[in-house]
Each structure stands twice: as C-alpha cells, then as structure tokens.
Structure 1
Amino acid sequence: MSDPSPNARAKPQRPVAVALSYELGQPGLPKVVATGRGAVAEQILEVAFANGVKVREDADLVEILSALDLDSEIPVEAIVAVAEILSHVYRANGKLPPKADTPEATP
C-alpha cells in the first residue's frame, strides 16, 4: 500500500442548503424558495436557525432539490422524503395531531 499524496486528498465539501416553503392545507407541493452553496448555504442556515426553522441533513435530497429553479415545486422523486420531514416538523410545532400508532397518540 502506498500513502496518498497531498495532491490526491479530496477537497473539503462546500455546504449546500435548500429552503422549502409549504403552507399546511394549501393546494400544491412544497416549493424551493432558496438554494445555495458555500457562503450562501451558510447564510440560509443562519437565517433558518435564527428563526427557529427545523433543519435536516440529507445529502441525497439536497442534491435533488438544489438542482431545481427557485419557486419550483418539489419533484415526484422527493415527495416521500419531504412529506416525512414536514410531518415531523408540523408535529414538533404542534400543528398536526400525533400519528394514531405512536405512543404519544394513546390516551
């Protein structure tokens, strides 16, 4: 085995962030309202944290969503993942009742 040369090291990954918007009960799918890499991604995250917005790391999902144009609805490939995230966020914020099959749903 040989040691990797300094030139063969992988570049550090730049952060990527995507912000979605969705109003519970409104027609349509969630939309991409912000996307960015590097410093822009860091700003998106700072704004989210400062406003108490829930943030989730998901490299596969961010890869799909970051390729979309702003104000685009999420694609079919991302619906299940985004629905799970939104369900968790709404429950955490008390906007949805607990699932019927979870312990917090039992009286």
Structure 2
Amino acid sequence: MKKVQKLAVALKYTENDSAPTVVASGKGAIAETILKRAQEENIPAYEDENLAKVLTSVEIGTEIPPELYQAVAGVIAFVWGLDKKYGKEKK
C-alpha cells in the first residue's frame, strides 16, 4: 500500500484581488510546516486532497488559474463563514 504524502497550499485573497494567489505550497515536511504556521496564526485549514494536488502545481506568487475559481470559491466561502461565526462570538 502506497503511503500518501501530506500536501498543503496557502492562499491569499481579499475582496480587492482579482483572484486568490498561492503564497506557500509543499508536501511532506514543508506541508507540515505550512499547517503548523496556519494553526499558530489561527488560520483555518480546509481539507481537500484533490484540490491540494492541483494547487501544488501552481507557482508560488501566482494567481490561481480561472479553471480553479469554482473549486477555490468553496474554500473562500468556508473561511468567510468561520470568520463570520467566530467574529460574532468575540463581540
């Protein structure tokens, strides 16, 4: 049985951006570091192995290609939902 290597991709997106940008990407130990840093910064993680596989092929510092907009929109909606949920609880 083949061992699955952990993948992680970090995206940056604001409402003023034309598309999300890949700001970090890696597998194995690098993926673990990305996930650890996200946890330390209270940045939520969204797990989708297939999307991670595709996103790791996007060069760091590059906007995601249009064919990934719909898939990544689900990630952004997930994160914004958490921000809204936990933002309200902090008040």
TM-score range, shorter-chain basis?
A: 0.7 to 0.9
SS at match of 1:93: helix
Alpha-carbon distance in structure 2 between the residues aligned to 1:46 and 1:27: 26
Partner of residue 52, structure 1? 42
State the partner residue of 1:6.
none
The structure carrying a bigger helix percent of its residues is: 2
Gaps of 5+ in 1: 1-9, 96-107
Counterpart amino acid of 1:39?
Answer: A
What is the SS of the residue equivalent to 2:45? coil
- Picking from 72, 80, 84, the partner of 1:94 is 84
TM-score by length of 1: 0.73
Deviations 1:2-36 (A, max 9, x none): xxxxxxxx23111111000011x213100000001
Q: Distance in 2 between matches of 1:45 and 1:15?
A: 10
Q: Which amino acid aligns with 1:58?
A: D
SS at match of 1:19: strand
Alpha-carbon separation, structure 2, partners of 1:52 and 1:83: 20
> In the alignment, does 2:2 pair up with 1:11?
yes
Question: Which of 51, 73, 81 lines up with 1:61 in the alignment?
Answer: 51
Equivalent residue pairs, number: 85
Root mean square deviation of aligned Cα: 1.4
SS of the residue 2:50 aligns to: helix
- Give ranges in structure 2 of 5+ residues lacking alignment: 86-91
- 2:61 paired residue among 60, 71, 79: 71
- Match of 1:20? 11
1:38 partnered with 2:28: yes
Higher relative contact order (CA 8 A, sep 6+): 2
